[in-house]
Amino acid sequence: MARVAVVTGGSAGIGLATAHLFAARGWSVAILARDPARLAAAEAALRAYGRPVLAIAADVADAAAVDAAAARIEGELGPIRAWINNAMSTVVCPADAITPEEYRRVTETTYLSQVFGTLAALRHMKPRNRGAIVQVSSGLGIRAAPLQAPYCAAKFAVSGFTDALRAELIHDDVAVSLSVVYLPAVNTPQFNWARNRTGHAQQAPDPVFDPRLCAEAIHHAVTHPRREIWVGRSTLMMAAAQALAPGFADRKAAEAWESQLTDAPAPDKAGNLFEPVPGEVGIDGRFGSRTKATRSEFWSSRERDLLVAGLAGATLLGFAGLAALARAPRRLLPRR
């Protein structure tokens, strides 16, 4: 039976890179996004791999639309084996200048879309006791940064929702995996179409990574389920700083204000917050000259756990050795 993967936000950037990777590795793929023209172009490109493809125009902030899409995918492609919640939006602006409507919309598209996608997938996966759900998150969901308060808050909420649900699945002995993939700055078109009211263009702070690296990490989370995956050295450093020295992390995050913006003034952008920005955009953004070429720079929670266990074991052995020395009888040196 064909393996079926669903990718929200699948018509551009990381979502499109992920759809391409799954299709290239023999999966049937369904992509959800808002812009019909961009969906049609993505669908045509994905069909070149010779696997069934289904493109569905839907706003993933609409729970009913997501449920209907899941039912259609099951009917036309077959049982959903993997669901990747990738859709998002943001507003680049100081927190106290962002409107209530903007906060609400970012919450709907970045947090509630993942809730609705997860619940739609579970309705089909739980009866079969099989499947993988991946939440595409960000290093900003571990260590928040200035100018993107609604986005950071939404990504933190994704982690809380996923942890709570994972505990419920463990309690009920349901064999559906839940993974969160935390991403660094990535060279995608998102930086061209995010809503921005700072008076300067948004840019990706270094280091910038390839969307295809993110796709590899997402595919790994499906085929080798892990609780969490961190992509890029910067994400790992953010997680470590937040865990070990949060006050220091606050000060470093404050410095990220300037690194997110260009020096030259630029007009504000309405962006894709409420309506999709039309036009073909593809996978990559405008930071190709600064993009790291690596396709393997990611780490899983299993590797972290093994490292922690190794360090703990070495520490215990060290303490045991010191205790043994303390208990050993002292031998007097012979007098000269």
Q: Specify if 332 maps to a domain.
A: no
Q: Specify if 313 maps to a domain.
A: no
Q: Specify if 53 maps to a domain.
A: yes
Q: What is the pLDDT of residue 335?
A: 47
Residue 302 vs residue 168, higher pLDDT:
168
pTM, two decimals, is 0.90
pLDDT band at 148 (very low <50, low <70, confident <90, very high): very high
Domain total for the chain? 1
Q: What does the pLDDT look like over 231-249, one tens digit per residue?
A: 999 999 999 999 999 999 9
Burial class (CB in 10 A: 0-12, 13-18, 19+), 322: exposed
Print the domain residue range for 151: 4-301
DSSP 297-330: -EEEHHHHHHHHHHHHHHHHHHHHHHHHHHHSPP
**49 flagged as catalytic:** no
Q: What is the pLDDT of residue 332?
A: 45
Backbone angles phi, psi at 195, to 5 degrees: -65, 130
Q: Specify if 217 maps to a domain.
A: yes
Q: Specify if 29 maps to a domain.
A: yes
Q: What does the pLDDT look like over 22-69, one tens digit per residue?
A: 999 999 999 999 999 999 999 999 999 999 999 999 999 999 999 999
Q: Specify if 257 maps to a domain.
A: yes
Q: Is 143 left (phi over 0), alpha (psi -120 to 50) or beta?
A: beta
DSSP 110-124: IIIHHHHHHHHHHHH
Q: What is the pLDDT of residue 306?
A: 56
Following CA atoms 256, 257, 260, 263 in sequence, which dihedral angle do they give, to the nearest 10 degrees? -120
Q: What is the pLDDT of residue 135?
A: 98
Nearest to 271 by CA among 187, 152, 155, 191: 191
Distances (CA, A) of 83 to 7, 18, 40, 70, 180: 6, 11, 20, 10, 12
Mean pLDDT of all residues belonging to the chain: 92
Q: Specify if 327 maps to a domain.
A: no
Q: What angle do CA 36, 187, 256 make, to 5 degrees?
A: 120
Average pLDDT on 274-281 reads 89
For residue 80, give both structure tokens: 């959903």
Distance CA 114, CA 112 (A): 5
Residue 179 vs residue 279, higher pLDDT:
179
Q: Say if residue 20's pLDDT is above 50.
A: yes
Q: Specify if 138 maps to a domain.
A: yes
Q: Say if residue 261's pLDDT is above 70.
A: yes
Q: Are 234 and 184 in contact (CB under 8 A)?
A: yes
CATH number, domain at 139?
Answer: 3.40.50.720
Distance CA 266, CA 288 (A): 21
Q: Are 88 and 9 in contact (CB under 8 A)?
A: yes
Q: Say if residue 315's pLDDT is above 60.
A: no
**Catalytic residue selected from 49, 111, 151, 182:** 151
Chain position carrying tokens 């899983």: 300
